[in-house]
Structure formats: structure tokens, C-alpha cells
Structure 1
Amino acid sequence: QILEVHLFLATLLYSYLEAFVKLFVPVRRKSLSGELVLITGAGHGVGRATALEFAKRQSRLVLWDTNKHGVEETAAECQKLGATVQTFVVDCSKREEINSTADKVKKDIGDVTILVNNAGVITAADFLSTQDHQIERMFEVNILGHMWTTRAFLPVMMNNNYGHIVTVASAAGHFVTPFMVTYCSSRFAAVGFHKALTEELSALGKDGIKTTCLCPVFINTGFVKNPTTRLGKILEVEEVVEALMEGIVTNQKMVFVPSNQSVALLLER
């Protein structure tokens, strides 16, 4: 018990010192120009806004979504910013679709250097009212889809020791909330995937492959009507994506939005 308290205080002190140093030491930001960026779930919300931010930074884009109209709208907006864009209609709950489309991307476009696993689905209901197919789909998209997509593009990153894998998860992958048992479980899995993959890449000496996990509280994307949460205010897409892009260019491993969620997590532990 005493050891745990000392460990907690030491971690808290380190966090404050790190934050203090960052006030005075400018963080190096990497260029995203020319990177081949693949974004899943790019037809709407965070995926679309992230694509636009990469387009502004002269990245080349490959956009996936189940919604043909939505992903083509995103592509058109990115092209107005001067980006080269290819779009694919892909259901990230289906491993075969992910693998076959990934093969087309690798053959026809090139090596993906930044992968943004953003596709996600959410159903809010009490656990016993959540239908079987809803439970299966949340896990198929929110975690298995991340795994299949990463497995498709990681080998080339490993060979080159270069790349960046972004996991879009949620604060619900750290904190629980009622009536979202399945969703929280799938997001906990996504956070665990990010952490374990990060450790594995480090153990393999692949320090050129960076990882970032985005964990916002709930976002106003239109998927949940009149959203409320004990985790804090409902966020707008723009502020979430701004934090994500900062996390990517500075190679942050975990991005909480708002940032005080990290302190809340530390206190909970």
C-alpha cells in the first residue's frame, strides 16, 4: 500500500515536471508532406476532418468508408486543397474486404506510411437490450478492423522501419459509463491494442514506427442524439482533430481530449 502511494506520487510529480518543461522547450514537429496516408471511416466526422488536415499538409490520401457518397465528398474537399486522393468503399467489419482492398492500394498506389484506424460504430443501450448483431459489429469494426488493417500495412513499415499507426479510440477505453457496456469494452480493447503494439515495436527495435492513440470524450458527430456524459463536455470535431494532428506531428503516444482526462485517469489509478 505504501509503495503504491509512493509510486503514484512519483508518477504525478513526473507528469507535472514534464508539463512544466514542455512550456519552455519547443517540441519538434515532423513534416507530413508527401506521406501516403490511409484513413478508415473517412466519409464523416473525425475521419473527414482528419483527411482535410492531412490535405493541408500536402500529404497524399487514400480514403476508406462504407458510404460511397460520403467518402467521395471528403475526397472532393481534399482535392480543392491540392491533395491527390484515391477512395475505396470498404466495410471494416469484413476482413476479406480489408485485405483485398489493401492489396489494391499496395499494388496500384504505393506503401502506406501513415495509417489512421478511425472507423468505428457505437450503440447506446443497456447491456441486456443490446442486440447480438450490434455487439458483434462493435467488436468487428472497433477492434478487429483495426487489427486486420494494421496487419495489412505493418509489414512494409517493419521492413523500412518507418511509419505511423494511429488508433482512434475513446475516453471510454479508460473510463466506464453505464448503458455502453459493449462500446466501452471494444474501446478498452482498442487502447490495449495500441499499448501492446507500441511495446512490441519497441521490443523489436522498430523505433522508426510511431504510434498514437486518440482518446476523446464524446464527440458531437451526429451518431448519438442529445449526447450527455459524466466524462465532461461534448466535444466538437474540430478541437478533437486539432489535438490529434498535434499528437501525430509530435509523436505523442496517447492523446486525451480534453487533456485533463489524463490527470483524472492517474487519480483513478
Structure 2
Amino acid sequence: MDYSGKVVVITGASSGIGEQSAEKFAKLHANVVLVSRNEKRLQEIATKLSKYNIEAFAYACDISNKDQVDKMGKIIIEKFGKIDVLVNNAGFGIYNTVEKTKINEMESQISTNFLGMMYCTKTFLQKMLEQRSGHIVNVASVAGSIGIPGMASYCASKFAMLGFSESLFHELKGTGVGITVVSPIMVRTNFFNHESFGKMPRYSATSLDSKTVANAVVRAASSPRIEIVVPQIVRFVIWLKQTFPYLINPIVGEIFRKSVKSKLD
């Protein structure tokens, strides 16, 4: 697909899935707006993307701060006059039991992963509706469908993202605006660099490259589907859990309780 002249806003664009998605959209000739708190890194990526002869605009913003997001939206709309794709990708996780996780650590995950997505969506949705075109891509996780011990707040934020997106999906029917959730399994990014993960193995044999997920993000930007699970086969696992919870939950719980115990011992 050719995105010539399109404007794509990507949060969490300073690394991982966000950075790779920005490059893939740039290769398709889209103008990209790179958003994260790390201004220096954003400028480096913007410079790198300039080789594709597109406009890469770096904007430092803490998306958990609604006033900053509101200001960002006004500046971007004023500069470009429109928005075609919004990729809500920013997010992070902290690994610990609920008992030992501090309240501010729980709040910070919800604020960035869920409220940040909601702030950005509200900021740009009205413009999309006026245009009668546009697409929102919310990067969630399989953890938005399966509760993982040690990741309660992160899972809560992604469960919330999935529910919000499903509701909005129905509301947007017939408006020309779409929304699709991308839900990957473990991805090889700096997500696991947080000190809470300690000496745990960072990745499994099934973990994904961020480029693979970025491909799904680009597909999602023009997809009529509500959710794309990466890899697709994992949707069967989600179906099993939702259909036969009394069989699957004990298995999932035991696997992850062992990992939590080994981390905390």
C-alpha cells in the first residue's frame, strides 16, 4: 500500500515496535510523527528516516499527561492539517506480585498503557471523524486476554485497552474511521530491561522480532478487523482459555506461578 502524503502518528516511537513501525511506514512514503519522552532518541530516528524523502517530525511528550497530549494534538494538526493513522504503542510493564508492587507502580502502568492511549485517541479522533477517514491501531498484548501472575497491572491495562477498542470499533461503524488492536506474544524489545525482571530469561524460543510486530501494525492500519493476534496461531490458545477456562486457567496459573516463585526466591 502506498501511504504517500499520509500522516502517521506513533507513540513509543523511540525504540522497539514503535521505531520499526515508523520505518516501515516511511518506506511506504508516509510522513511520520515520532512521539515519546526521549527527545534525543527521537531526533536520531527522524534523521535516519529522512533518507526515505518523507517528513519525520519528532515530538517529545509524556502521554500519561493529558495536558501534554492535548498540546501535542493541537500542534500536529496545525502543522499537518490532518491525521491518517494513530498508532498507540507506548507502554511498559513491571514484574512483581500485587502484594509487593507499590501503588505508584501500578498507577504508572495504567496511566501510560491505558490512559495514555485514551488521551491520544480522544485528541485525534474528532479530526478523523471530520475527515471521515483514518485508522487507530492500538498495540496491546496477548496479556490483554490472559491474566499473567506477576503482571497484574500490565494485564489490567491491556485488558482495558482491548475492551475500550472493541466498544469504539462498534461506535465507529459507518464513519469512515477504523480501529484495530494488534496483540503479540512476547517481543524482543527493551520492555524486559526494567529492573523488576531481575535475572529472569528475557525471551523464550517463541518470542517475536519487533519487525514482525511492526509488519502487523502496518497491516492493521488498513484492516477491517477488530484484532490481529501475532502469531495467528496464538488466537487458538486465547479461544481455549475463553471457551474452557476451568481447564486452561489452572495450567496457565501453575506455569506462571513457578516463574514468579523462581524470580522472587
* Range class of TM-score, shorter chain: 0.7 to 0.9
The answer to whether the 8 A contact 2:188-2:208 is kept is: yes
Confirm whether residue 222 of structure 1 aligns to residue 197 of structure 2: no
Cα distance change of structure 1 residues 247 and 103 upon mapping to structure 2, 3 Å threshold: closer
Q: Partners in 2 of 1:218 and 1:126 — Cα distance?
A: 19
The match for 1:129 is 100
Q: Once the two structures are superposed, what CA deviation does each residue of 1:68-119 show, in whole Å capped at 9, x if it has no partner? A: 1221122112112222111111001100100011111112222111111111
TM-score of the aligned structures, taking structure 2 as reference length: 0.84
AA aligned to 1:111 is K
Confirm whether residue 209 of structure 1 aligns to residue 180 of structure 2: no
AA aligned to 1:265 is I
Q: Partners in 1 of 2:164 and 2:17 — Cα distance?
A: 20
The answer to whether the 8 A contact 2:165-2:179 is kept is: yes
Confirm whether residue 159 of structure 1 aligns to residue 130 of structure 2: yes
Q: Partners in 2 of 1:123 and 1:103 — Cα distance?
A: 32
The answer to whether the 8 A contact 1:43-1:72 is kept is: no
AA aligned to 2:206 is K
Q: Partners in 2 of 1:57 and 1:189 — Cα distance?
A: 31
The answer to whether the 8 A contact 2:136-2:221 is kept is: no
Q: CA deviation at 1:250?
A: 3.9
Confirm whether residue 239 of structure 1 aligns to residue 212 of structure 2: yes
Q: Once the two structures are superposed, what CA deviation does each residue of 1:119-151 show, in whole Å capped at 9, x if it has no partner? A: 111111111111111111111111111111111
Higher relative contact order structure (alpha carbons within 8 Å, sequence separation ≥ 6): 2
RMSD: 1.5
The answer to whether the 8 A contact 2:94-2:105 is kept is: yes
> Which moves more between the two structures, 81-90 or 238-247?
238-247
Q: Once the two structures are superposed, what CA deviation does each residue of 1:172-209 show, in whole Å capped at 9, x if it has no partner? A: 0011211101110111001111111101112xx31x11
The answer to whether the 8 A contact 2:2-2:29 is kept is: no
**Unmatched segments (≥5 aa) in structure 1:** 1-29
Q: Partners in 1 of 2:180 and 2:2 — Cα distance?
A: 16
The match for 1:255 is 228
